[in-house]
Amino acid sequence: MTVPSKKSLAAASLSLAVLLAGAFGPADAQSRQMVSVDRPEINMRTGPGTGHDSVWLLSRGYPLQVLGRKGKWLQVKDFENDRGWVYRPLTDRTPHFVVKTKVANIRKGPSTRTRIVGKAEYGDVLRTLAHKGDWAKIRDADGLVGWVARRLLWGW
């Protein structure tokens, strides 16, 4: 069975994600337990155990909200509200965001008045370095460091 990657299917959910973009504010991330993927790729499964089908292949850093636990397995959901189970030892508490809008500008500083130094696309995973008000300092997969408005992101 070939498992689709999250990013390859992300574009199909874009219109729904835009409608839900305002549903998660910055305070929401603080009130929920989050983990991120700590391996190059892991499976999200339909149940707690390797005997359950794999429904998604998640890449390093991908943020997940913890909904429950069963032994060493975590029941989780992602920014598109997809739910499943991941093996806890393959996750960690390193904060990451995922871009939940079509495009997010990466800026030199935490303001729309600062220069755009790059762009991130829907489904891109960004390492969280710091927070300042409604902004997050991030590092992308290519090593670019900058600031993104938190309303464009999901995670912590």
DSSP conformation letters of 50-84 = TTSPEEEEEETT-EEEEEEEETTEEEEE-TT--EE
The percent of residues in the chain predicted with pLDDT above 70, rounded, is 80
- HSE (side-chain half, CA atoms, 13 Å) at 130: 8
Domain 6-11+33-94 falls in which CATH fold? SH3 type barrels. (2.30.30)
Q: Do domains 6-11+33-94 and 97-155 have the same CATH topology?
A: yes
How does residue 13 score in pLDDT terms, banded at 50, 70 and 90?
A: very low
- Give 81-131 pLDDT, tens digit per residue: 999 999 999 999 999 999 999 999 999 999 999 999 999 999 999 999 999
- Is residue 57 over pLDDT 60? yes
How does residue 32 score in pLDDT terms, banded at 50, 70 and 90?
A: confident
- CATH class, 97-155 region: mainly beta
111 CB-near residues (< 8 Å, 6+ apart): 135, 147
The predicted model scores a pTM of 0.80
SS3 36: strand
SS3 151: helix
Structure-model confidence comparison of residues 3 and 147, the more confident one: 147
Domain range summary for the chain, segments of one domain joined by +: 6-11+33-94, 97-155
Mean of all residue pLDDT scores within the chain:
87
